[in-house]
Amino acid sequence: MTEHSKVIEEYLLTLYKLKRAGEPAKAVTLANRLDTSPPTVHATILRMQRDGLVNVTKTKELTLTKEGQSIAEDIAYRHNLSEYFLCNTLGIPWYEVHQHAHLLEHAMTPIVVEKLAEFLGKPEFCPHGTPMPGTELPENTITLMEAQPGTTVEVAMIGEVLEDSVDLMKILHEHKVMPGKQHKVIEKTEVMRSILLESKDGPSSLPFHVAEKIFVIEIPKDKKRSIQP
Ligand SMILES: [Zn+2]
Ligand SMILES: [Zn+2]
């Protein structure tokens, strides 16, 4: 795989993630996310447009073409599968697999992807709870910001943008803010712009901008577990 196509793959994957997160995809967003200069992003987008991978709307919004979407889904799949493998087979902590998977995802041939998926039992979610392409989070998933004080929630997914910071991921790990874990929402304080949680491992406080990127499912009162796994 050439360096050129690796760059294109990164762009496609980022556009795909923005779309899934419901965020606007513009050249400036790409420049920020990929830490690249706007002129470079502009040149690459022109190339991708020429190659039939993206469309640029009148409002300068970038959308994936059918081909762009299918390549992006393929990379997202390779990424999530790599993470699952690194975490569940090789035992690398869930909070640092993203960085390694980021490199692996570009080096996998179709046969490797197919055999690895079979070997892993075709997982549907990465260790951060991100659904593989074709799989969706349950419909009643909300962000932690939307959860009401007094309710108990189970973490479904740590938003992909948070995976970029290993330090932040480690903090989430220490507070057991990870898929499958339950937390009670104690309060949201506007002054501190933070949300206070409590689990059997103790209290934790998360800033609003992090809580907005964490996806949870409210646990009905009668289904609350007194002792969590
Ligand atoms: Zn990742
Ligand atoms: Zn992940």
Span 158-211, pLDDT tens digits: 998 899 899 999 999 999 999 999 999 999 999 999 999 999 989 999 999 999
Q: How many angstroms is it from 162 CA to the middle of ligand 2? A: 10
Q: How many angstroms is it from 44 CA to the middle of ligand 1? A: 23
Q: How many angstroms is it from 128 CA to the middle of ligand 1? A: 8
Indicate the pTM of the whole model: 0.87
Write out the CATH class of domain 142-223: mainly beta
Radius of gyration of the chain (CA): 19
Span 108-132, pLDDT tens digits: 999 999 999 999 999 999 999 999 9
Domain 3-64: assigned CATH number: 1.10.10.10
pLDDT at 5 over 60: yes
Domain 68-119 falls under CATH 1.10.60.10: yes
Nearest-angstrom CA–CA distance, 166 and 169: 5
Q: How many angstroms is it from 50 CA to the middle of ligand 2? A: 31
Among all bound ligands, the one having the nearest atom to the CA of 94 is: 2
Q: How many angstroms is it from 98 CA to the middle of ligand 2? A: 6
Domain ranges within the chain, ordered by starting residue:
3-64, 68-119, 142-223
> Tell me, what's the pLDDT at 106?
87
Nearest-angstrom CA–CA distance, 68 and 52: 7
